[in-house]
């Protein structure tokens, strides 16, 4: 698992050069616009909602003594809740809406890595790619929220909240990497088979998603570069995994 996480992270090293070499920047114009607008809307919403959520949580404390301290803590936790849910919504929204634009990028990277210009892939239209992206990301959003809410509750427990923060970050990273891998997988697998494939290679998804999430901590530049670099890195790793599985299957048939 750790080895695969490192592979997912290391793939970013040559992403910028590969994008330039294959002249892929033009494909990222609309996804970058989607990313910036979505980040701005969610950021403004988070700023306005954190105080309201904090005051709502503060009502749990019925006593006068310590109420100010509890309100301050509640406001801080409210901010974390909004940021966590905001990040979840952000990444699934941009991944779903960017799917038709990312598929050609992934395809060109695959052709470059394999040396085969015309693959015998599943043929999908713009609308089908968009629907696939929405379907995958709505499914992942539901799963992620299901695991995120209990982890957020653990933040009220001292010491334990440190571990819950790490788990929350890794959970978000996994689903970010999942979405990036599916841009390549949609040409090779149907919906259910794609889910199973990512499930077998969780480390690669987490590694890709870790850098994705860290990019979001960089003001402005982060939301501009996060998709181009993460999709490129993920495409490289996913194509390699597909080639390995293809090789293994051929060997098993020969034996």
Residue 8 predicted with pLDDT over 90 = yes
Quick check: 179 and 94 in contact, CB under 8 A? Answer: no
Q: Is 159 left (phi over 0), alpha (psi -120 to 50) or beta?
A: left
pLDDT score of 252: 45
Long-range Cβ contacts of 185-191 (<8 Å, 24+ apart): 185/238, 186/99, 186/103, 186/122, 186/124, 186/129, 186/132, 187/103, 187/106, 187/107, 187/110, 187/119, 187/121, 187/122, 187/124, 188/121, 188/122, 188/242, 189/122, 190/122, 191/132, 191/135, 191/136
Q: What is the mean pLDDT of the chain?
A: 85
DSSP notation for 108-148: HHHHHHH--SS--PPP--HHHHHHHHHHHHHHHHHHHHHHH
pTM equals 0.83
What pLDDT score does 65 carry? 63
Listed residue (219, 65, 86) closest to 152, CA to CA: 86
Q: Is 95 exposed, middle or buried (0-12, 13-18, 19+ CB in 10 A)?
A: buried
Task: Using the predicted structure, report yes or no on whether residue 152 has a pLDDT greater than 70.
Answer: yes
Q: What is the mean pLDDT of residues 155-184?
A: 87
H helices, E strands: number in the chain: 9, 0
pLDDT per residue as tens digits for the range 32-61: 999 999 888 887 877 777 667 666 766 666
CA–CA dist 130, 103 (Å, integer): 10
pLDDT digits (tens, 9 = 90+) for 67-109: 666 666 666 777 777 777 788 888 999 999 999 999 889 999 9
Task: Please report, for the chain, the start and end positions of each structural domain, with discontinuous segments joined by +.
Answer: 2-47+81-245
| Cβ neighbours of residue 183 closer than 8 Å, sequence gap 6 or more | 99, 102, 103, 105, 106, 231, 234, 235
Per residue in 175-213, pLDDT (tens digit) is 999 999 999 999 888 899 999 999 999 999 999 999 999
What distance lies between CA 56 and its chain's CA centroid?
30
Taking residues 131-157, report their average pLDDT: 86
pLDDT category, 255, cuts 50, 70, 90?
very low
């Amino acid at each position: 698992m750790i080895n695969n996480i490192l592979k997912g992270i290391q793939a970013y090293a040559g992403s910028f050069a590969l994008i330039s070499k294959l002249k892929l920047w033009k494909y990222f114009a609309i996804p970058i616009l989607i990313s910036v607008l979505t980040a701005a809307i969610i950021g403004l919403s988070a700023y306005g909602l954190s105080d309201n959520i904090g005051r709502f949580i503060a009502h749990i404390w019925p006593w006068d003594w310590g109420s100010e301290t509890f309100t301050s803590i509640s406001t801080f936790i409210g901010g974390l809740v909004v940021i966590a849910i905001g990040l979840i919504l952000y990444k699934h929204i941009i991944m779903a809406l960017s799917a038709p634009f990312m598929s050609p990028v992934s395809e060109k990277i695959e052709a470059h890595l394999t040396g085969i210009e015309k693959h015998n892939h599943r043929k999908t239209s713009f609308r089908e790619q968009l629907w696939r992206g929405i379907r995958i990301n709505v499914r992942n959003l539901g799963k992620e929220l299901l695991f995120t809410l209990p982890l957020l509750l653990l933040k009220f427990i001292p010491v334990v909240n440190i571990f819950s923060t790490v788990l929350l970050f890794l959970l978000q990273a996994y689903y970010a990497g999942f979405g990036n891998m599916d841009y390549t997988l949609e040409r090779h697998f149907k919906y259910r088979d794609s889910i199973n494939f990512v499930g077998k290679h969780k480390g690669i998804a987490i590694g890709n998603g870790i850098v994705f999430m860290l990019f979001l901590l960089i003001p402005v530049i982060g939301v501009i570069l996060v998709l181009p670099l993460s999709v490129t890195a993920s495409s490289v790793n996913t194509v390699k995994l597909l080639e390995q599985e293809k090789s293994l299957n051929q060997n098993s048939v020969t034996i």
